Structure formats: structure tokens, C-alpha cells
Amino acid sequence: MLTLGNLFILMLLAAGAAWLWHGHGIRERALIRVKQHCAKLDIELLDGNVAFQRFGIVRDGSGNRRFARVYGFEFTVTGEQRHAGRIVMFGAHVGTIELDPYPFREPSEALPPVVETAPAPAPRKTGQVIELQQWRRDHPASRD
């Protein structure tokens, strides 16, 4: 016979299993993002995994304190040394990816030097303040 106490325990176990399943999905998303980040920086993710480190209250990009899961991982640049990294997950969303200081690779000498044949275009100036009167003189518009 199913009593109220047994039903409560069954519901508690189901909720715990659902929470663990959801946590596994978040870990998988963290792993995908770390792999993408390592590929972008041309570093190698070691062991191909991220490991849960802790739950915590962490500031997000807006400065608000939020509940987060922090995962750790290890990476290498040279293949000789291991360096630590961390990823903060706010639910299924990535907060930050932090890497410990690591040495950069020197450019390989096998690549030929880059030879420029044409002058590079002038860099585009951004963030300039343009006065409206000057702009109107430079860009006359036909008035109907």
C-alpha cells in the first residue's frame, strides 16, 4: 500500500534525480564552451573534461550576485606544463572563463614571412565627435 510518507520519499528521490540530470546537462554545456574557447586561443584542453568545483554566489557581468556552478579544467600550451582554468555557469548560461597565466607559443619558423604588396588601408577612425554644421557642409542633401 502506498502511504503519504512513501509517496513523499518517492517524490524526494525523483526531484533529486531530476536535479542531478539537469546538473549533468549544465556540465556538458560548460565542456562545449571550454572546448570552443581553447580552440579559439589555440591551446589544448587536457583530459577532455571539466570538473565540478563548487556552488557559490558569484557576481555576473552586471554586478549582480547570482547562484552559480564553478567548474575547473586544465589546459596546456606547450604540452609540458598543466595550467588551471575555471568556467562559471549561471544555470545554462556561461558567466566567465578564466585561465591562469600561461606562456605564449613563439611563432614557428616554418612559416614564410608575410610580404605586403599593397599598402594597408588606413585604419577606420571610430569614436570621433562630428559637428553637425561641418557634416552638413560636407554632405549637401538635395532639398525638395
* Three-state SS sequence of the chain: CCCHHHHHHHHHHHHHHHHHHHHHHHHHHHHHHHHHHHHHHCCEECCCCCEEEEEEEEECCCCCEEEEEEEEEEEECCCCCCEEEEEEEECCEEEEEEECCCCCCCCCCCCCCCCCCCCCCCCCCCCCCCCHHHHHHHCCCCCC
Residue 121 within any structural domain of the chain: no
Question: Does 122 map to a domain?
Answer: no
What is the reported pTM? 0.63
Q: Please tell me the total count of domains within the chain.
A: 1
Task: Render pLDDT for 79-116 as a digit per residue (tens, 0 to 9).
Answer: 888 999 999 999 888 888 999 988 876 655 555 655 55
pLDDT over 90 at 72, yes or no: yes
Which range among 7-11, 33-37, 95-99, 128-132 shows the weakest confidence by mean pLDDT? 128-132
> Within a domain: residue 39?
yes
Range of the domain at 86: 12-104
